[in-house]
Amino acid sequence: MTDYEHHIFISYRRSDEIWMRWARENVAEALRTLLRPALGDVQIFVDEQIETGMCWPDSLARALARSRLLIPLLSRDYFNSEWCRLELALMLEREQQCQFRCSANQAVLIIPFVYDDGECFPVEVRSMQPKKIHEYANPYVRPDSPKYVDFSEVLRKECPRLEAALKTVPPFNPDWEQIAYEQFRDRFRIQAATQATLPSLSMLAFNRTPNAT
């Protein structure tokens, strides 16, 4: 029987290895440790493949579909990524299907953190009241630094919110996985088509013999 595999899916712009390390070490690993006393072995998915030359739509779709919660790490550049927007849109669609995040049901499946800007985000995202972590958006902060300790305390204060959200997730629906597969495969096909090598520019125009004068 299919079921959830991850408690949390971290969605972030996978632009370079330094920011990927920040998402893994400063966010995911800290949350995993901080949530362990209450939840035990916490499974957090963090994809670490740079978004160029992608060949992983199925694995990403499966991980998202089988995650209970989504934590998007939001920046202006986040919304320049079609993959990030798709991850967020699919989980938002799940919230709507489950009739979450409404006056009758305040349960949520998306708990966003914002570390860059926030004012120009889509209305739907701004209404989620993301946690601001601008002060800690430095990928060079190491886990043994005082700044990391301060950030860990910020994350610790968010743990009750995450724990409460995990208690209200709906039963796993296999349809979510099929929808995610279809969406990610379509996105990958479109991107692969647009990345196809274009024909070389013809040099004929430059090789013509000049007209005699």
How would residue 11 be classed by pLDDT, with cut points 50, 70 and 90? very high
pLDDT for 205 equals 43
Give the contacts of 152 (CB within 8 A, at least 6 positions apart).
30, 34
Give dist(CA 94, CA 69) in Å, integer.
10
Tell me the mean pLDDT in the region 125-149: 92
pLDDT tens-digit map of 114-129 = 999 878 898 889 899 8
Q: How far is CA 52 from CA 82, 97, 138, in A?
A: 12, 32, 23
Highest mean pLDDT among 138-152, 156-170, 180-194: 156-170
pLDDT tens-digit map of 78-136 = 999 988 999 999 999 999 999 999 999 999 999 999 999 878 898 889 899 899 999 99
Q: How far is CA 3 from CA 7, 33, 62, in A?
A: 11, 23, 11
Long-range CB contacts (within 8 A, 24+) of 92-100: 92/124, 93/179, 94/176, 98/170
Q: How far is CA 144 from CA 17, 128, 150, 155, in A?
A: 19, 32, 11, 16
* Number of Cβ atoms within 10 Å of the Cβ of 5: 15
pLDDT for 190 equals 64
Tell me the domains of the chain and their CATH numbers: 6-207 (3.40.50.10140)
Question: What three-state secondary structure class fits 186?
Answer: helix
Question: What three-state secondary structure class fits 46?
Answer: strand
- Tell me what the pLDDT averaged over the chain comes to: 87
pLDDT for 48 equals 80
pLDDT for 199 equals 52
